[in-house]
A and B are shown apart, each in its own frame.
Chain A
């Protein structure tokens, strides 16, 4: 009885809502995860060539860091609207915007990770006859993983939050439920979607932390030389765009 009533009385917490609209919630969550994953994946792929370019010297580093920082200060609503010109009302608008935001964090962390590779490791590889490409792939990248994944964690958490704004072009995952809940004054829907969004961010963060542990078993060996150690709390001192 009282469970039925909570939809009528428009309570913030309503189990009946969870029962009757579970499919809606699942669909929105799936869209949310898809948009976030695609954005961070594209951001990561694009950030590598940019980071490699930036470390070639100050001539490239200045523009790369400058442009990615400037992108970060563009408010999300404006970014989505500007990309509307290119992609129209499609998921591509949201994914491209979020990938551009993630670049700021990812490029910096990839650069920091590569910079922190100990010179001895590089010299040893060179002595073994490794060329630049093999050195990058087999020596530098594996050693940079902790810093790169720290960046991926920060980027993913802020992307999960930002995806909600995609509701303005119709692809905001849980943000769509938040906006339609606002329009119809449906409190349970807004609160449930908001809480799911935060839980999603936390789950993604923990999952990536686990991945980092699996990929870098050597960082847990205390006796290893600590040269080039990178703190796992993230390198980029930036905040998220809203």
Chain B
């Protein structure tokens, strides 16, 4: 357990938090990669998934993309992109890989959310004279919301994890503290980095659970609806 107390010592040493290689800088890199890519993935995947779900087409694509994504090793994609001509453009390989792996959970969950809306409810809404747009905004979207948020949570967790792996392909982010620890054979630093990464991942997950609850369009309505 020497390494554990060493890790604690590493984390409580102020010098390890400052400068180019310090925790604050690595955290900022990590959050920047994750934030930009999650936003880009949402902009790409959600409109597509919601539209496909609304018109009820493209189900095979939306579902299979997750199965295909599962079989592709993140590390392989990161390394392939780094060695490709794109590798010359600094952060480009990481940003592309992050988006590639965040899109499938968003797409699949949002699509399934739209498709699993009760058909009887949709028909009732149409019968009340709702237009396609009204139906989408006031019926389908609120009912699909839980699964859309599940997709967002999976994508966020995925992005944080992939951004960590990017350090193995030579990128920055909190994962760099771990890989650097391996390079210089400093186990306490490896453990300290792992603790930081785990804390960040769990925090992001927790934050999105809370945001999901607060923004729920059906919040406080369920009781009356029964």
* B172 contacts chain A at the CB level, 8 A cutoff: no
Main secondary structure of the interface of B (DSSP, over half): helix
The answer to whether A75 and B63 have CB atoms under 8 Å apart is no
* A77 contacts chain B at the CB level, 8 A cutoff: yes
Q: Which residues of B contact A181 (CB under 8 A)?
A: 79, 83
The digit string for A202-242, where 1 denotes a CB below 8 A from any CB of B, is 10010000000000000000000000000001000111111
Contact residues of B between 106 and 157, Cβ < 8 Å to A: 109, 112, 147, 150, 154-155, 157
Q: A74-B201, A238-B154 are in contact. Are A161 and B74 (CB under 8 A)?
A: yes
- The complex places the Cα of A154 from the Cα of B175 at a distance, in Å, of 26
The answer to whether B73 and A73 have CB atoms under 8 Å apart is no
- The complex places the Cα of A206 from the Cα of B199 at a distance, in Å, of 37
Q: Which residues of A contact B179 (CB under 8 A)?
A: 77, 168
Chain B residues within 8 Å of A, Cβ to Cβ? 1, 3-4, 63, 66-67, 69-77, 79-80, 82-83, 101, 104-105, 109, 112, 147, 150, 154-155, 157-158, 160-162, 164-165, 167-170, 175, 178-179, 181-182, 187, 190-191, 193-195, 197-198, 201-202, 204-205
Chain A residues within 8 Å of B, Cβ to Cβ? 70, 72-79, 81-82, 84-85, 154, 157-158, 160-162, 164-165, 167-168, 175, 178-179, 181-182, 185, 187, 190-191, 193-194, 197-198, 201-202, 205, 233, 237-242
Return 25 A-B CB contacts under 8 Å, by A number: A73-B157, A74-B201, A76-B161, A76-B165, A77-B179, A78-B193, A78-B195, A78-B198, A78-B201, A79-B198, A82-B195, A85-B191, A164-B73, A165-B75, A178-B75, A187-B83, A190-B80, A197-B73, A237-B150, A239-B69, A239-B70, A239-B155, A240-B158, A241-B157, A242-B161
